[in-house]
């Protein structure tokens, strides 16, 4: 997948996606956004995958955000309709991935890179990582849910300091504030992320996925879909459904038992 600037691999029950554009600090362009969406779809379908990890290549950055060269030439309509909306669609799908997602910050997570990390359920940051939302310094606004999902997950006051004042938060401070879940030594982030993923993968996979969906619903991430998915799964286990389907196929009236 080198042409899409990402690398995907499977290690047992763990899927790993690596942003692979270190010479550009793993800045995101349209090709990468599309590749992330394809990876989400493939991971969703892979029943052997229980946990997913998202990280970046190199030692400097998880992702420096959206690549200016990718959007600077867009007209205002195209910028809103495609760059912003496409990113939102993909990031929403990533946040709602059925498997738990761990982001491993191997360096800076700025702007769209921090919004991408914010899609994860758990975050491991290497000690040199920094978090920030520098968009207003460029007379821009965060465009991929920095003012929405990040507020729900990080809190409004922290996001205001980053987005309004341009404050950069280091890994240790981020841990103290609850923005990340663990801090690893430089170069050890993926190892620690894999250990966490293995711990999660050893637990009941259906229960883990249901709990993730319920917590997402509590955050307002996917309330409607979570309710209907859980209801559908419950009904799918019943003898009523089996009878209803059999009656449809046999072109007869269904005979449901009292329960």
User: Known catalytic residue: 228?
Assistant: no
Q: What is the C-alpha separation between 101 and 36, in angstroms, rounded? A: 13
Pick the catalytic residue from 69, 115, 126, 222: 115
Kindly calculate the radius of gyration of the chain based on its CA atoms and give it in whole angstroms. Answer: 20
Q: What are the strands, taking DSSP E only, across 93-134?
A: 101-105, 108-110, 122-126, 130-132
Strand partners, 15: 10, 52
User: Known catalytic residue: 115?
Assistant: yes
Confirm if 84 and 103 have CB atoms less than 8 A apart: no
Confirm if 145 and 88 have CB atoms less than 8 A apart: yes
Confirm if 211 and 99 have CB atoms less than 8 A apart: no
Pick the catalytic residue from 3, 126, 135, 257: 135
**Residue closest to 109 by CA, chosen among 147, 40, 166, 60:** 60
Residues tagged active-site: 115, 135
């Amino acid at each position: 997948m080198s042409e899409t600037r990402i690398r995907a691999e499977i290690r047992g029950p763990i899927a790993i996606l690596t942003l692979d554009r270190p010479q550009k600090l793993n800045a995101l362009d349209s090709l990468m956004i599309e590749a992330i969406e394809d990876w989400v779809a493939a991971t969703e379908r892979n029943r052997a995958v229980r946990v997913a990890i998202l990280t970046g290549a190199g030692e400097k950055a998880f992702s420096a955000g959206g690549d200016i060269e990718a959007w600077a030439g867009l007209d205002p309509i195209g910028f809103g309709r495609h760059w912003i909306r496409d990113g939102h669609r993909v990031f929403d799908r990533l946040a709602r991935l059925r498997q738990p997602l761990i982001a491993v910050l191997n360096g800076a997570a700025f702007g769209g890179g921090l919004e991408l990390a914010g899609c994860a359920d758990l975050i491991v940051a290497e000690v040199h990582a920094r978090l920030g939302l520098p968009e207003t310094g460029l007379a821009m606004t965060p465009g991929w849910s920095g003012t929405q999902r990040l507020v729900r997950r990080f809190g409004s006051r922290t996001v205001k300091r980053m987005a309004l004042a341009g404050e950069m938060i280091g890994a240790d401070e981020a841990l103290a504030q609850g923005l990340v879940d663990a801090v690893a030594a430089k170069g050890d982030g993926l190892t620690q992320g894999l250990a966490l993923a293995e711990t999660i993968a050893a637990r009941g996979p259906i229960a883990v996925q249901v709990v993730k969906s319920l917590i997402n619903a509590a955050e307002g991430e996917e309330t409607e879909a979570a309710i209907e998915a859980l209801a559908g799964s419950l009904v799918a286990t019943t003898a009523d459904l089996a009878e209803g389907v059999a009656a449809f196929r046999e072109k007869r009236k269904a005979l449901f038992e009292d329960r």
